[in-house]
């Protein structure tokens, strides 16, 4: 039994060495027909790394010939099969740009977008490559609206849009947390703008109700801490946010909290307006008194000048 096992191992080693020797000879060969055939054979067998090595040697020589089309298509797929998605996407796009009338052009353009989609990161990472994927998918949809892959492409876009939405939501929560810092003024304003932009960018998002409540909460806190001459404007803004929330989400779990915030803000607005009126009245009275004093001084000075001239 032991001799049989050793014999099998020896055969495997011999086969491996023989295979490596065969491939080594191919690498050194300048027989382009042989290299082309061998590259295709390795591709069909699923040995994509070896196929890539041979295609790298033969493609510069056969490019522009009839055989180049299949070789470049297989070359792109070889990279895709070993999960080199960025390289694969580039090669698929290059194939499409070169052979846009090929029967394989539609598939190549789809695979360009699919490879970029697979390379797109999770929502918590930089989404620039995801936007490249969306652009590629949109290009495919525009060029081949009747394609069998159309629905699949739309599903990919939906998936990526959800990542953008989740990314934007997490950023909004980050701004919200920053408002609890020691110097929250600038973050209040940034938070308000961020929440509003989120609602514009994702009008159907499941997060809009929560962020609309937080918008009321943050704007009320911002108004409360505002300087005197900005306070009325910001209190009114917070009340408007609360009214909008009430109209859009009349059955919301946040409604009671929003109503309480709105009531408190309205009371603060009334108190501020009363204080502002008193301040304006005092300012006006002081201004009138100053003007009266100025007129009296001018009159006294005029009489004094008249007396001096009479003397």
Three state DSSP letters for 153-207: HHHHHHHHHHHHHHHHHHHHHHHHHHCCCCCCHHHHHHHHHHHHHHHHHCCCCCC
292 or 53: which leads in pLDDT:
53
Confidence band, pLDDT 50/70/90 cuts, at residue 273? confident
CA 142 – CA 160 distance, rounded (Å): 18
- Per the structure block, which two tokens stand in for 127? 């989404």
Q: What mean pLDDT do residues 18-31 have?
A: 65
Task: Kindly report which listed range (21-30, 207-216, 235-244, 258-267) carries the lowest average pLDDT score.
Answer: 21-30
CA 239 – CA 17 distance, rounded (Å): 80
Main-chain phi, psi angles of 253, to 5 degrees: -70, -20
Q: What mean pLDDT do residues 226-247 have?
A: 93
Q: What mean pLDDT do residues 216-240 have?
A: 92
CA 90 – CA 140 distance, rounded (Å): 14
Confidence band, pLDDT 50/70/90 cuts, at residue 11? very low
**Residues 113-149 pLDDT 10s:** 999 999 886 655 556 778 899 999 999 999 999 999 9
Q: What mean pLDDT do residues 173-179 have?
A: 82
pLDDT score of 296: 74
**Residues 144-166 pLDDT 10s:** 999 999 999 999 999 999 988 98
What Å distances lie between residue 162 and 134, 158, 169, 206, CA to CA? Answer: 12, 6, 10, 11
Three-state DSSP string of 143-168 = HCCCCCCHHHHHHHHHHHHHHHHHHH
Secondary structure percentages of the chain, helix, strand, coil, to 5: 80, 0, 20
135 or 289: which leads in pLDDT:
135
Check pLDDT > 50 for residue 6.
no
């Amino acid at each position: 039994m032991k001799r049989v096992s050793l014999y099998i191992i020896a055969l495997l080693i011999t086969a491996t060495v023989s295979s490596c020797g065969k491939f080594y000879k191919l690498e050194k060969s300048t027989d382009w027909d042989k290299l082309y055939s061998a590259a295709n054979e390795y591709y069909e067998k699923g040995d994509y790394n070896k196929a890539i090595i041979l295609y790298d040697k033969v493609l510069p020589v056969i490019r522009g010939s009839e055989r180049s089309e299949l070789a470049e298509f297989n070359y792109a797929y070889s990279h895709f099969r070993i999960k080199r998605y960025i390289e694969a996407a580039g090669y698929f796009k290059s194939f499409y740009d070169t052979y846009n009338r090929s029967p394989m052009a539609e598939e190549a353009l789809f695979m360009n977008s699919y490879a970029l989609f697979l390379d797109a990161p999770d929502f918590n990472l930089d989404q620039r490559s995801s936007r490249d994927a969306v652009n590629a998918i949109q290009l495919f949809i525009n060029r081949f609206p009747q394609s069998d892959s159309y629905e699949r492409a739309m599903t990919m876009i939906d998936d990526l849009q959800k990542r953008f939405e989740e990314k934007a939501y997490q950023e909004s929560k980050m701004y919200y947390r920053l408002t609890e810092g020691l110097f929250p003024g600038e973050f209040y304003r940034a938070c308000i703008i961020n929440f509003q932009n989120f609602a514009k960018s994702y009008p159907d998002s499941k997060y809009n109700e929560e962020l609309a409540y937080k918008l009321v909460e943050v704007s009320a806190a911002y108004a409360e801490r505002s300087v005197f001459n900005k306070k009325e404007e910001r209190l009114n803004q917070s009340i408007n946010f609360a009214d909008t929330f009430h109209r859009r989400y009349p059955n919301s779990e946040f409604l009671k909290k929003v109503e309480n915030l709105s009531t408190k803000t309205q009371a603060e607005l009334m108190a501020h307006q009363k204080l502002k009126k008193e301040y304006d009245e005092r300012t006006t009275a002081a201004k009138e008194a100053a003007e009266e004093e100025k007129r009296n001084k001018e009159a006294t000075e005029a009489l004094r000048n008249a007396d001096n001239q009479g003397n």
